[in-house]
Structure 1
Amino acid sequence: MLLFLRFLAVLPLGLLHGLGALLGWVVFALSPTYRRRFLENAAQAGYAFAQVRAAVGHAGRMVAELPRLWLGRPPPCTMHGAECIERAWAAGRGIVFLTPHLGCFEMSVQRAAQRWGADHGPITVLYRPARQAWLARFQETARNRPGVQAVPTTLPGVRSMIRVLRRGGAVGLLPDQVPPEGQGLWVPFFGRPAYTMTLAARLVQQTGAAIILARCERLSWGRGYVLYVEPGPQLAPDMEAALRQINEAMERLIRACPEQYLWGYGRYKKPRVERMEAAA
């Protein structure tokens, strides 16, 4: 399997995206559950299928591009709005990068790390280790790209993020990811209650870090990506109000490029019952 992934990593990005688009439509056609969730989530946000049908192919592209992003040569990615990041670091603040399941969110972190990793240290991101030992080892190695430090979803991992922010570094999170029970609140997302992680808000409130919103869009024909960054909201001290602000910010980013959002993600599912592990 690792050899196959390494083979995929050297293929042209355009070919990977073509194969991924086909994969996306195959899954959409064969999985009634996934198809129903995709259509329901899009309708909840006010979109007809015709408006977001391209997102079917982009879901497959997201999967197919991972070997290249984790193991291969970095694809081209231009950036817009970098001045807001420079201002945050000039003020001596840490940065919490927030991006939804939109476009190539993996590239968002890698591009920022390429630009600022040498001056401000690696960007720390959370990941959930796979249950299979070989895949967990692969994840740990592959996600630790130059300028990126991946830490597991454990208490030590979260403490590591707090330390990074307090010394003026950066972390990255997907705040529209459903956390385990006890680590979120039910807050509206496109008008429907969704279990929303409190971690992003807690990191900001405990460290005084700045929020930077990011969306990384795929270009057609494998030409690479475009990363847009902008200042995020000044969070309210009340947790529920802060989470509403974060969800509203994520909605705005998604509406800027709805054809690349993962509408098939189970955003409104019930949280799984588990404890955050105390050690890696």
Structure 2
Amino acid sequence: MIEFFLKLFSIMPLKLNHWVGTLIGRLLYLSNSQSEQVVRKNIEICFPNLTKAQQQDLIKKSLIEAGKGLSESGFVWFNSFKHNAKHIVKTKGAQYLQGDENTILLVPHFGCWEITARVVSLHRPTTFMYKELQDKKQNALLLSLREQQDLYMAAANKKGVLKLQRAFKDKQLIAILPDQYPGEKGSVVSPFFGQNAQTMTLLVKLARKNKAKVLMAWAARLDKGKGYELNIKPVNILSSTGRVEDDVALMNQAIEQLVKTKPEQYLWNYKRFKG
């Protein structure tokens, strides 16, 4: 059933796809869904200075963007990489992807990270770390849709970390979504929007160990299904102290600065402050 809907979304023009995603988001907002409850709690925590009306408006917009994220998944996965790339109407910072130096892409849950992975891999082979699903059949389907052409996937476990190290040796880009809940192992508590958030340490540790440059990468959605703007921006997340805690704090600050540009496009229905 999931695969059927993903394929249905894939044949829609992007404008129609995002219109359907908007309807899904409005339904999530009006139905007092679990997503709505999580988004509401996160926004109230992170934007306490907004009025209740402003918070409500951001909650609604965030759920609409989350709905678009659901519908566009099929549009990205069941179409070719070149088809995806046609919908990137503007790219900033592509020159930073060139060369063969060790490079890590810091990819927050912002905009459409799925299309970010695919389009970046057209510039340079990329190994992307992902979190495995508990359902083995769904995970196998997801892996088959993601791991194509010069885009390779590494599970978020010890084997996956070794795969990332091999990717460095092969002069590939590696990409990590750093704002997933990592559990207590391999993480530190670090400020995010003024709140303590359990935050992974893997990205900053890999950057230091491999003397890698770090690029933040995101594809912002444009209004009315007009496409995406791909952005590649160097960020400094390695502190002068050399302490992992300070590195992670800089990483969270960089993500927070991005989120503030279009807060509705961040994945607020993710339990960022879990634990």
TM-score for the superposition, normalised by structure 1: 0.87
- Residue 74 of structure 2 corresponds to 67
- Residue 57 of structure 1 corresponds to 64
Whether contact under 8 Å (1:215, 1:253) holds in the other structure is: no
Percent sequence identity over aligned pairs: 27
**Where does structure 1 lack aligned partners over 5 or more consecutive residues?**
271-280
Q: Give the whole-Å Cα distance in 1 for the aligned partners of 2:95 and 2:44.
A: 36
**Where does structure 2 lack aligned partners over 5 or more consecutive residues?**
none
Please list the CA deviations of residues 198-234 of structure 1 after superposition, one character each: whole Å capped at 9, or x if unmatched. 1111111111111001221111222211011110115
User: Partner letter of residue 138 of structure 1?
Assistant: L
CA gap 1:261/1:4 in 2 versus in 1, 3 angstroms: closer
User: Partner letter of residue 238 of structure 1?
Assistant: R
Of 100, 107, 116, the match for 1:108: 116
- Residue 261 of structure 2 corresponds to 256
Q: Give the whole-Å Cα distance in 2 for the aligned partners of 1:24 and 1:212.
A: 30
Q: Give the whole-Å Cα distance in 2 for the aligned partners of 1:126 and 1:71.
A: 20
Report deviation, 1:94: 1.4
Q: Give the whole-Å Cα distance in 1 for the aligned partners of 2:43 and 2:5.
A: 34
Q: Give the whole-Å Cα distance in 2 for the aligned partners of 1:96 and 1:252.
A: 19
- Residue 167 of structure 2 corresponds to 164
Q: Give the whole-Å Cα distance in 1 for the aligned partners of 2:247 and 2:58.
A: 30
Whether contact under 8 Å (1:129, 1:139) holds in the other structure is: no
Of 222, 226, 234, the match for 2:225: 222
Q: Give the whole-Å Cα distance in 2 for the aligned partners of 1:212 and 1:22.
A: 34
- Residue 206 of structure 2 corresponds to 203
User: Partner letter of residue 83 of structure 1?
Assistant: Q
Does residue 8 of the first structure (1) align with residue 3 of the second (2)?
A: no
- Residue 103 of structure 2 corresponds to 95
Does residue 21 of the first structure (1) align with residue 22 of the second (2)?
A: yes
Q: Give the whole-Å Cα distance in 1 for the aligned partners of 2:127 and 2:96.
A: 19
CA gap 1:234/1:265 in 2 versus in 1, 3 angstroms: closer
Q: Give the whole-Å Cα distance in 2 for the aligned partners of 1:4 and 1:53.
A: 24
CA gap 1:25/1:147 in 2 versus in 1, 3 angstroms: same
TM-score for the superposition, normalised by structure 2: 0.88
User: Partner letter of residue 71 of structure 1?
Assistant: F
Whether contact under 8 Å (1:70, 1:145) holds in the other structure is: no
User: Partner letter of residue 72 of structure 2?
Assistant: E
Following TM superposition, where does structure 1 have runs of at least 4 consecutive aligned residues deviating by more than 4 angstroms?
A: none
User: Partner letter of residue 257 of structure 2?
Assistant: R
Report deviation, 1:254: 0.6
Report deviation, 1:67: 1.0
Report deviation, 1:171: 1.0
- Residue 92 of structure 2 corresponds to 80
Q: Give the whole-Å Cα distance in 2 for the aligned partners of 1:238 and 1:142.
A: 38
Please list the CA deviations of residues 131-159 of structure 1 after superposition, one character each: whole Å capped at 9, or x if unmatched. 32321221111011332101222211111
Whether contact under 8 Å (1:82, 1:229) holds in the other structure is: yes
- The 5-angstrom pairing of residues 116-265 of structure 1 reads 116-117=123-124, 122-236=125-239, 237-265=242-270
Whether contact under 8 Å (2:26, 2:60) holds in the other structure is: no
Q: Give the whole-Å Cα distance in 2 for the aligned partners of 1:195 and 1:134.
A: 29
Q: What's the secondary structure of 1:65's corresponding residue?
A: helix
Q: Give the whole-Å Cα distance in 2 for the aligned partners of 1:165 and 1:233.
A: 19
Q: Give the whole-Å Cα distance in 1 for the aligned partners of 2:170 and 2:149.
A: 20
After superposition, the CA RMSD in angstroms is: 1.8
Q: Give the whole-Å Cα distance in 2 for the aligned partners of 1:38 and 1:98.
A: 23
User: Partner letter of residue 84 of structure 1?
Assistant: Y
Q: Give the whole-Å Cα distance in 2 for the aligned partners of 1:53 and 1:84.
A: 35
